[in-house]
């Protein structure tokens, strides 16, 4: 249950997903005090609008003991990845707000004991000052708790901080930099050098510096000094990670027994399991224990600003059952059936990447896999010149692995047979990023691996025999999609050498939908002013030197074509062309040749194709 509090009264409200709190936020303005009430162990949400890059300063004017708050925002995009920056000593000082969906930001206020509070949010920022100032010497080094983010700090001069490292724990001191450069160094509490320190540069989370120390048998207070270099960073984000050597047996229990959901946020900046899995070397990993009292479907979703890898392992971490690498900041591990027992779920990083993450788990009833889940069991398609359209889903599907594109992504298959070499054109549009590829009857790849996207198009020549279309959800999320496929008839004038001869005057109809792109020019050589990478067809005309030739192309409503003239097919040059922007807009080309002879009129465009009418005179 959650709480909605206003005017000193609190009412319980059922949790309603990831955005339940922000959806109940009260709108406030910047520049004026806001008086509200927070309940004991509850939360209060405030919302305001601002532009990305705007400054923000939020201070607490009065509050009960234990009050804390943070800035929450959602990144633009369909996944709406949630981000959060916590206040430091009840103060938020942000030089430039990050980009947020709908330019909307939230203040999440929490309280241990509850009571009335007053905060002052305003659009302001004071240079070279942050909530931890002053911290310019060992004597006034601010002691910071480990494994906590400290955002929006300045580094106008050397800054000193301290962190308490427990016995037999390692320390990883990170300084992530918005820009510029800085040095991170570690010292003993008295300012003397600390032996065994390793420093390096990190590229993830925007880049920064890392100082690591393997620890001591005794608890130790360590001084961390952050010194700006040239160019000086405008903002510093600190994270001091302390950890023991991680083992499966001490992973915290996140999903217990019959609980149907769980959520955790944290980082993988410190821990390492040191074992490769199906996704390769996951580098630094954060582990969580899961317990299933009965067979169930597991849906685990991770959102992270780095290349996160989500893996499910057995309880001893000796084997990996499944894993997924995040795409575009999101990865979903959707397992239709997980047997009763104990498991370990880890969040790692491809290429040793690390950072903060938001992990959400759901345990739901087992579902059966789709009938076309396995390669070789593809749903049969009867293809021909007419387009075949099917609706599909990857829900309940499992990865096929092997040498296929995105082998760890859940996938489904569609089979078809051709009795002669044919051209295949297939397109898929989905609710999540997909990969569309062609495999043979034995599941060997027959097409290159495409970049993931919600729209994919495949245009290939296929040999006689049986083939399969494979649709994979690259983020792991259960995706719905529409698949269209056809074996288009050969377009008679698809090649320059097969151009259709035109008399003058003459009107013809044509269609480039199933033509191929056999002629295109770099932008510097194009005579239309645009690229000519669309499907093209050719017409030949005999022209007389000095006499102006006019061609008018009228496209269908959804087609944006281009029209241009070339000379010979052997060494074509773009002699004259036109490309008026906009679908359905007619194109009129006038060309006066300097020599009498045969010329070729090309109907093309920047991309795609469509029906048209062509008139020449």
Note the pLDDT tens digit of each residue in 587-617. 999 999 999 999 999 999 888 888 999 999 9
Contact assessment for residue 514 and residue 459, using Cβ atoms and an 8 Å cutoff: no
Residue-wise pLDDT for 185-224, tens only, equals 999 999 999 999 999 999 888 899 999 998 999 999 999 9
Q: How confident is the model at residue 281 (pLDDT cuts 50, 70, 90)?
A: low
Higher-confidence residue of 549 and 41: namely 549
16: pLDDT strictly greater than 90: no
pLDDT of residue 307 exceeding 90, the answer is no
Q: What average pLDDT score do residues 260-269 get?
A: 88
**In three state form, how does the secondary structure of 20-33 look?**
HHHHCCEECCCCCC
The CA distances from residue 468 to 5, 67, 219, 393, in Å, are 56, 59, 61, 16
335 neighbors 312 (Cβ within 8 angstroms): yes
Is pLDDT at 3 greater than 60 in this prediction? no
Q: Rounded to an integer, what distance in angstroms lies between the CA atom of residue 528 and that of residue 519?
A: 14
pLDDT digits over 544-581, tens only? 999 999 999 999 998 999 999 999 899 899 999 999 98
Tell me: pLDDT of 278 over 80.
no
Q: Is the pLDDT reported for residue 246 higher than 70?
A: no
pLDDT above 80 (res 7): no
pLDDT at residue 10 tops 60: no
Nearest to 374 by CA among 396, 389, 350, 405: 396
Where do we find the tokens 């980082």?
267
Q: How many Cα atoms sit within 13 Å of 579 on the Cβ side? A: 25
Structural domains of the chain sorted by starting position, each given as residue range(s) with its CATH number in brackets = 2-122 (2.60.120.380), 142-243 (2.60.120.380), 248-364 (2.60.120.380), 379-486 (2.60.120.380), 496-616 (2.60.120.380)
Comparison of pLDDT for 443 and 81, the residue scoring more: 443
Mean pLDDT of 39-52: 91
pLDDT, mean of residues 306-322? 85
> Rounded mean pLDDT of the chain?
88
pLDDT of the residue at 273 = 60
Give mean pLDDT, residues 410-439: 94
What pTM was computed for the model?
A: 0.62
CA quadruple 443, 444, 448, 451: dihedral positive or negative? positive
């Amino acid at each position: 249950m959650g709480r909605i509090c206003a005017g000193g009264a609190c009412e319980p409200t059922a949790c309603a997903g990831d955005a339940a709190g922000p959806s109940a936020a009260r709108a406030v303005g910047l520049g004026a005090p806001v008086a509200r009430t927070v309940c004991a162990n509850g939360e209060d949400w405030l919302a305001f609008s601002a532009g990305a890059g705007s400054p923000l300063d939020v201070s607490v004017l009065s509050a009960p003991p234990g009050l804390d708050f943070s800035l929450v925002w959602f990144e633009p995009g369909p996944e709406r990845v949630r981000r959060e920056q916590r206040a430091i000593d009840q103060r938020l000082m942000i030089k430039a707000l990050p980009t947020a969906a709908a330019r909307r930001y939230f203040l999440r206020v929490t309280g241990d004991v509850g009571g009335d509070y007053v905060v002052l949010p305003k659009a302001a920022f004071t240079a070279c000052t942050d909530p931890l100032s002053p911290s310019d010497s060992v004597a006034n080094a601010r002691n910071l708790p480990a494994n906590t983010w400290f955002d929006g700090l300045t580094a106008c001069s050397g800054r000193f901080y301290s962190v308490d490292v427990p016995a037999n724990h390692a320390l990883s001191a990170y300084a992530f930099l918005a820009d510029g450069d800085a040095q991170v160094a570690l010292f003993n509490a008295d300012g003397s050098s600390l032996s065994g320190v390793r420093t390096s540069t990190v590229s993830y989370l925007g880049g920064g510096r890392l100082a690591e120390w393997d620890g001591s048998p005794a608890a130790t207070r360590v001084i961390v000094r952050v010194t700006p270099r040239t160019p000086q960073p405008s903002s510093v984000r600190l994270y001091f990670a302390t950890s023991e050597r991680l083992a499966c047996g001490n992973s915290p229990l996140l999903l217990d027994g019959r609980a149907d959901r769980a959520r955790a946020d944290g980082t993988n900046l410190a821990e390492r399991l040191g074992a490769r899995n199906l996704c390769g070397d996951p580098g630094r990993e954060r582990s969580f224990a899961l317990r299933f009292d009965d067979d169930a479907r597991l849906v685990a979703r991770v959102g992270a600003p780095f290349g996160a890898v989500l893996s499910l392992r057995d309880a001893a971490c000796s084997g990996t059952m499944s894993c997924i690498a995040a795409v575009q900041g999101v990865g979903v591990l959707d397992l239709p059936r997980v047997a009763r027992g104990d498991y370990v779920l880890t969040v790692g990083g491809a290429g040793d990447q690390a950072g903060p993450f938001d992990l959400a788990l759901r345990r739901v009833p087992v579902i059966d896999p789709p009938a076309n889940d396995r390669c070789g069991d593809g749903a049969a398609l009867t293809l021909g010149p007419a387009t075949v359209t099917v609706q599909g889903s990857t829900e309940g599907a499992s990865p096929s692995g092997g040498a296929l594109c995105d082998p760890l992504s859940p996938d489904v298959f569609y089979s078809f047979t051709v009795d002669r070499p044919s051209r295949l054109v297939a397109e898929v549009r989905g609710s999540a990023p997909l990969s569309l590829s062609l495999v043979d009857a034995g599941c060997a790849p027959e097409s290159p691996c495409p970049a993931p996207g919600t729209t994919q198009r495949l245009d290939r020549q296929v040999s006689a025999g049986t083939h399969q279309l494979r649709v994979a959800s690259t983020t792991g999320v259960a995706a719905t999609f529409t698949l269209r496929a056809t074996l288009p008839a050969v377009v008679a004038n698809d090649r320059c050498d097969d151009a259709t001869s035109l008399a003058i005057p003459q009107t013809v109809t044509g269609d480039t939908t199933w033509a191929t792109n056999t002629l295109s020019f770099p932008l510097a050589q194009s005579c239309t002013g645009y690229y000519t990478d669309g499907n093209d067809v050719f017409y030949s005309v005999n022209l007389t030197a000095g006499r102006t030739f006019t061609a008018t192309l009228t496209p269908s409503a959804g087609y944006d074509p281009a029209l241009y003239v070339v000379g010979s097919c052997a060494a074509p040059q773009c002699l004259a062309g036109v490309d008026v922007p906009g679908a359905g807009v007619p194109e009129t080309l006038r060309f006066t040749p300097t020599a009498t002879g045969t010329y070729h009129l090309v109907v093309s465009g920047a991309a795609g194709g469509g029906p048209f009418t062509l008139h020449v005179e």
